[in-house]
Each structure stands twice: as C-alpha cells, then as structure tokens.
Amino acid sequence: MSNQFDVVVIGGGPGGYIAAIRAAQLGFNTACIDEWKNDKGGPAPGGTCTNVGCIPSKALLQSSEHFEHAGHSFADHGIGLKDLSIDVAKMLGRKNTVVKQNNDGILYLFKKNKVTFFHGRGSFVKAEGGAYEIAVAGDKPASVSAKHVIVATGSNARALPGAPFDEVNILSNDGALRIPAVPKTLGVIGSGVIGLEMGSVWRRLGAQVTVLEALPTFLGAVDEQVAKEAHKAFTKQGLKIELGVKIESVKADKKGVTVAYADAKGAAQTLAVDKLIVSIGRSPNTTGLNAEAVGLKLDERGAIEVDDECRTNLPNVWAVGDVVRGPMLAHKAEEEGVAVAERIAGQHGHVNFNTIPWVIYTSPEIAWVGQTEQQLKAAGRAYKAGSFPFMANGRARALGDTTGFVKFLADAATDEILGVHIVGPFASELISEAVVAMEFKASAEDIARICHAHPSLSEATKEAALAVDKRTLNF
C-alpha cells in the first residue's frame, strides 16, 4: 500500500534533512528517504558531510592538531611530555563516535518534527494524477507518493581514469578518513579542500606528504595574497606541493602506489607512496534515481538542471545541494533546502550566492566570502584593499599562532564591502562577521567603527577594515 505525503525528500544529507525538517515545520506531511548505512547496517542520515566528509574530517583534524601541538608547541608553554605517541585506532574510534552522534541527532530531529523516515534508496517510478510515485529499495522496500519531491542526492568522489578507488591504497575522501595506521609516505592528487585537509591530518601524525596539482597556480579560486601566504605556511610545515603536473599513470600493488607524472617543466617523474588520496573534484550523484522514468532533465555534467529557485523541468520537482549547479558546500545545500520548503509553502525563500562563506580547515585555516582581488581586477571594478596581520594581534600572540592576516576589499566610491579573506587561526569562525556585514550591505567603515572585544582575534577584522582607509591603530 502506498504511503502518501505532501513532500518527499530523496537524500538525507545537509540539503535533504534540513529541507524535510523545514517542510514539516511549515505543516506539510513530509518523508525523507536516505540509504546511508552504519557499520551495523542501520540508518546513518547526514550524507557525505556527516559520514565521510565535513564532520569526520574535522574530528581527525582536531586529533592531529592536538598531537602536533603536544609534539611541537607544548614546550613553549612549560609543558613537558615523555614518550609521545598516537593511537590511530582510538583516534578513528573517536571520529566514529562523533559521526554516530550526528547520525543519531538527525534521526531525533526527524522524530521531533514528525518527519517520516525511510531507510533505503529512493527512485522515481512514474508521475500520475499530479503526484510522483517513488520506490524505496532497502531492507524494508516501500512505495511512497507525493505532490512535491525534493531531490537532494549529493555527489560522488571523482576517480582518476584507469585508477578506480579501492579504498585501501587508492583512496577517496572515504578511505582517507580510515587509514588504519600512519603511512610513511602519502601522495595526494589535487590540492583542493579535501586533499589539503586530509594531507594535513596525516602529515601532522608523521607521514611524508606530497601533493600533486595539475593547475599551475595554488588554490586558484582563493585570493592570490591568501593563497601565497597559505602556500608558504604549508611548505614550512613540510607539505611538499608540486604544481603544473600531468598525471601519466597510477599503479597499485601490495607495496603501495606508484604515480608516473610529468612535472611543470615536462620532465618525467615517479612518486612511490604507501597510500594515495585522489581529490580531483566530485560529480553530481543521480545513480539509481531513475530520472528518465519521469523525464527529469540532467545537464552535460549529470547534474539536475534547475532554475534560480531550484525548480527542475518537472512541475513540483525540486533539487538542491551538490546535485545541482553552484558550490558543493553543505551550508549552501542547507540554505537551498530551507528556501525550497518555503517556496512550496508559498513563501519567498532566498539564497544569496554572493554571501556564501568558504572554509578550508587546514592550519592555518582559510576562509573567505565575496569577491577576490583578482576577480575585481578582471571585472574592472574600482576598489580599496586593507589588511591586518595576526602578528600584530595580542590574542594571536597569546595563542602562539600568528600566521596570516585578515583582508578587506571595498568599493572605491561607496566603501561597500565586496569581499573578506582570512588566513590564520579560527578563520572559520571569524568569517561569519564578514558574511553578516555583507548581507546587510555594510561598508568597511561600519566594521571599523564597531567595538570589538579585547583581546580577541576579531580585532584583526576591525583593524583590516580600518586599513581600507589606511588608519590601522595597532600596525
């Protein structure tokens, strides 16, 4: 017997579960379908982000950061340690606990908001009588129907041609998060967010890490000044980064992985490593969705085609998150999920793509919102720039982490903030002030005239705003 709902969400990642909760809050009879399983075969909602992405990577980054501090920084504080060691199994166990807490938290939120949960893979069957029939394949097969469907099926890691993931030697983000012991040597193909974060984790724990990047520039999407500072910091830490390489072949055997490549000068090179992380981007996931059954239109990348409001080519079928255009960020998916639920309810849901923050959780952290200096130059926009180094910030000195700076870009005529770029301690937290400011069309002077607590890292934000008009107080 069919289960009838007002709204069915396919996918329980950040976009999906948030969309389901918001739809339920707005009074719709809502269901969410998700197939992720835990090690016992039970439901594990939260998608890539919770299970093999944002959350577990932050757990490992925290553990590895503690280890590095204990090995290198504690002595400066008068703290002595003997026989420092790392129990990788325990570290991974803690990570798994953090993941489970998030999984369980989502299931609790479904109950709290009266969202019906189906554990399995959702796929379209047919459209009939103004409703869509969806099959749930899993341990408990089911059939559901709904007037409105929100597709939030996320993305998959992209493999190198000829080198499929085995999650033992050739690793996606999934395998990179559960390496059972610290490898002596680790290769990373791709210097994007995942590659740098995972490379950082295992470098801190003692691995010799080499990053191979095809592009001639490091972190090309990041403000050039920030990218340069980050590259300097990573190199100083011992992370070997090679740019402009061309991968020729990847071969795995019992001993590890051998990568043959041409360097930036075209010379043939070989990299032999114990483990290889491939981080060359992600592809929209429509596997098993059976989009063709209802005529759901995909683009040439395999993403679901949507308009500015996340409407597909089908009436009352919506799509959000990694499976559609735009940045593959969990918080972008969440915002789209909320907006779609509100649009279904006749409200005016809104997502401002110009104020979506980006974060790379390395050490130093990198965070930004808005336009980069190179983008403004390319557009011919007249702007002012101001920056302030953490070296001149009292709280950063007390932390013992003075790498990096805060940088403001503002319109030359109106002083409106056009972009804020941070590399340094707790950049992920500091960027929120800039997001709020830009959302409310603030000027650099607005931030410069706001009282910030002392001593705090946020004073660097105020000082960078002051620097736009060349009137810093502490530098």
What are the strands, taking DSSP E only, across 245-373?
246-253, 256-262, 268-273, 275-278, 282-284, 317-319, 358-360, 365-370
β 3-10/142-151 pair status: parallel
* pLDDT exceeds cutoff 50 at 1: no
Q: At 396, is the pLDDT very low, low, confident or very high (cuts 50, 70, 90)?
A: very high
Question: Taking residues 123-130, what's their average pLDDT?
Answer: 96
Dihedral over alpha carbons 53, 58, 61, 67 (to 10 degrees):
-140
Question: Taking residues 354-367, what's their average pLDDT?
Answer: 97
Q: What pLDDT was estimated at residue 198?
A: 95
* pLDDT exceeds cutoff 70 at 355: yes
Q: What pLDDT was estimated at residue 2?
A: 57
Q: Give per-residue pLDDT as tens, 260-316.
A: 999 999 999 999 999 999 999 999 999 999 999 999 999 999 999 999 999 999 999
β 365-370/417-424 pair status: antiparallel
**Which residue is catalytic, options 66, 72, 350, 454?**
454
* pLDDT exceeds cutoff 90 at 351: yes
Q: Cβ neighbours of residue 445 under 8 Å, at least 6 residues apart?
A: 415, 465, 468, 469
- Residue 304: both structure tokens together: 């679901």
Domain annotation for the chain: domains and CATH numbers:
3-157+283-351 (3.50.50.60), 170-280 (3.50.50.60), 355-467 (3.30.390.30)
Q: What pLDDT was estimated at residue 174?
A: 97
Q: Cβ neighbours of residue 145 under 8 Å, at least 6 residues apart?
A: 2, 3, 4, 5, 8, 131, 132, 133, 134
Distances (CA, A) of 331 to 9, 105, 310, 385, 441: 17, 17, 15, 28, 21
User: Is 231 annotated as catalytic?
Assistant: no
* pLDDT exceeds cutoff 70 at 178: yes
Mean pLDDT of the chain: 97
**pTM beyond 0.85:** yes
Question: Taking residues 427-444, what's their average pLDDT?
Answer: 98
Identify the H or E element spanning 156.
strand 155-157
**Could you give the residue ranges of the DSSP H alpha helices within 78-167?**
88-112
Question: Taking residues 339-343, what's their average pLDDT?
Answer: 98
Q: Give per-residue pLDDT as tens, 207-237.
A: 999 999 999 999 999 999 999 999 999 999 9
What are the strands, taking DSSP E only, across 305-404?
317-319, 358-360, 365-370, 383-389
- Residue 358: both structure tokens together: 């980006």
Question: Taking residues 52-73, what's their average pLDDT?
Answer: 97
* pLDDT exceeds cutoff 50 at 323: yes
